[in-house]
Amino acid sequence: MKMLVTGGAGFIGANFVYYELKHHPEDQIVVVDDLTYAGNLETLVVAMKHAQFKFVKADIADRAAMDALFAAEKFDTVVNFAAESHVDRSIENPEIFLRTNIMGTQVLLDASRKYQVGRYHQVSTDEVYGDLPLDRPELFFTEETHIHTSSPYSASKASADLLVQAYHRTFKLPITISRCSNNYGPFHFPEKLIPLMISRALADQQLPVYGKGENVRDWLYVEDHCSAIDLIIRNGRVGEVYNIGGHNERTNLEVVKTILRELGKPESLIHYVTDRPGHDMRYAIDPAKISGELGWTPATRFDDGIKKTIQWYLDNRFWWEHIINGEYQNYYAQMYNQR
Ligand code: NAD
Ligand code: DAU
């Protein structure tokens, strides 16, 4: 199989590249990533040693670049991770979210159609379902839950999902969509809750908790997300949406306190700050469809995954320190300027 992985220099895309290289070493992988602030080529250093792997710096919304790439490479499968992914940034500046997440998806759909890709997979999010109330723990997001978005980020992801479904219905493009809950694990950019709290706690800095810290997220270890996408692209039914989540609900305060406990740091570092506007209260996935149809189950419980993740950040300080001091953005020039 020859696979295009967009956004492969980001958190989940890179973990997916390593998952595929390990479990399907016969497949060829081309990563396209525009190396925005969230893309880090240092993350792909090990992948770049594989003969089956290739990196291309390009913008998924650049129609001419995508057309040339698809014409040259003849992909069997496209997995679209590339996106602006941070809710807080979408509140500050929605426009780039619409360009990348909606227009970029449309460009990829057009190229997939023109060059007859065998499977187009859209990596979506549980945020398209909006949120659940805290006092109804029996409620979960299923694939039938209505789309009901809160932030410019989730609205842009929902718009992309609708386009993907339209290309299936109208043009018979063979698509699948996955909607996953919050991921955590190696290579998570230190603007998101868990890596931000780990890196700041290690520096004895205040930990900014929005509102009262009572919002609930359903955490999934990133490798379990990768195994689910791998199953969907190989065995999932064309035209279907699959929810991905592992019943690991925690309040933000519980997560932050767990990190402090594991690092031996005091709870006095917690600093309550003004809440995120439109802040979703609770996400919780019902994964019955993917478990029943494809036999997927998550391998990592939150209590184990958070320990592994903290250890990874302790063992790979250079990775996140390069992000905080900005050095990672020089890496592309170092690697490619002479070529
Ligand atoms: P990320 O922000 O870490 O990575 C995004 C990657 O996309 C970066 O490498 C960036 O350089 C690249 N990119 C951005 N704009 C681009 C463009 N125009 N052209 C080419 N590349 C571009 O994001 P992530 O957390 O790894 O999320 C990946 C996907 O998974 C996103 O689609 C996101 O919506 C979805 N998702 C994320 C989570 C989560 O918890 N992080 C959960 C469910 C779904
Ligand atoms: O559910 C899937 C989504 O999970 C993905 O689609 C998004 O791309 C991903 O960023 C994530 O969105 P969240 O908004 O849930 O993640 P974030 O890490 O930004 O925040 C998690 C929770 O922690 C949320 O309730 C806000 C809170 N928070 C976050 C930050 C960065 C804080 O309290 N303080 C913070 O400093």
Hey, where are the domains in the chain?
2-187+220-247+282-300
Q: Check pocket membership of 60 for ligand 1, CB cut-off 6 A.
A: yes
Find the 73 Cα to ligand 2 centroid distance in Å.
36
- pLDDT of 339 reads 65
Helix, strand or coil for residue 132? strand
Distance CA 156, CA 257 (A): 32
Q: Which ligand has the nearest atom to the CA of 205?
A: 2
Tokens 């990768």, located at residue: 226
| 60 Cβ contact partners less than 8 Å away, ≥ 6 residues apart | 6, 7, 32, 34, 66, 80, 82, 100, 104, 105, 107, 108
Q: Point out the ligand 2 atom lying closest to the alpha carbon of residue 215.
A: 25
What Cα–Cα distance (Å) separates residue 178 from each residue in 12, 41, 173, 264, 280?
Answer: 13, 25, 16, 37, 20
Q: Check pocket membership of 34 for ligand 1, CB cut-off 6 A.
A: yes
Say how many C-beta atoms besides its own lie within 10 A of residue 294's C-beta: 17
**187 Cα distance to chain centroid:** 11
What's the topology of domain 2-187+220-247+282-300? Answer: Rossmann fold (3.40.50)
Find the 9 Cα to ligand 1 centroid distance in Å.
9
Nearest CA to ligand 2 atom 10: 86
- pLDDT of 335 reads 74
Cα-Cα-Cα-Cα dihedral of 189, 192, 194, 200, to 10°? 80
Find the 338 Cα to ligand 2 centroid distance in Å.
39
Length of the chain: 339
Q: Are 229 and 193 in contact (CB under 8 A)?
A: no
Nearest CA to ligand 1 atom 41: 183
Q: Check pocket membership of 83 for ligand 1, CB cut-off 6 A.
A: yes
Q: Which residues line ligand 2 (CB under 6 A)?
A: 85-87, 125-127, 181-182, 192-193, 196, 208-210, 215, 217, 252, 276, 283
- pLDDT of 338 reads 67
Q: Point out the ligand 2 atom lying closest to the alpha carbon of residue 256.
A: 33
Say how many C-beta atoms besides its own lie within 10 A of residue 251's C-beta: 17
Tokens 């570092």, located at residue: 269
Distance CA 198, CA 200 (A): 6
What Cα–Cα distance (Å) separates residue 78 from each residue in 60, 97, 118, 338?
Answer: 12, 20, 8, 30
> Based on the number of CB atoms within 10 Å of its own CB, is 236 exposed (0-12), middle (13-18) or buried (19 or more)?
buried
- Show which residues are catalytic: 126-127, 153
Find the 19 Cα to ligand 2 centroid distance in Å.
24
Please tell me whether the overall predicted TM-score, pTM, comes out greater than 0.85 for this model.
yes
Q: Check pocket membership of 11 for ligand 1, CB cut-off 6 A.
A: yes
Helix, strand or coil for residue 28? strand
- pLDDT of 336 reads 74
SS3 content of the chain, % helix, strand, coil (to 5): 45, 15, 35
> Which residues of the chain carry a pLDDT beneath 50?
none
Distance CA 275, CA 284 (A): 21
> Based on the number of CB atoms within 10 Å of its own CB, is 228 exposed (0-12), middle (13-18) or buried (19 or more)?
buried
Distance CA 228, CA 290 (A): 8
Q: Which ligand has the nearest atom to the CA of 86?
A: 2
Distance CA 330, CA 123 (A): 28
Q: Check pocket membership of 161 for ligand 1, CB cut-off 6 A.
A: no
- pLDDT of 333 reads 82
Distance CA 101, CA 108 (A): 11
Find the 8 Cα to ligand 1 centroid distance in Å.
8
Helix, strand or coil for residue 331? helix
Q: Point out the ligand 2 atom lying closest to the alpha carbon of residue 86.
A: 10
Find the 127 Cα to ligand 2 centroid distance in Å.
10
> Strands 241-244, 53-57: parallel, antiparallel or unpaired by DSSP?
unpaired
Q: Which ligand has the nearest atom to the CA of 218?
A: 2
- pLDDT of 334 reads 79
Q: Check pocket membership of 226 for ligand 1, CB cut-off 6 A.
A: no
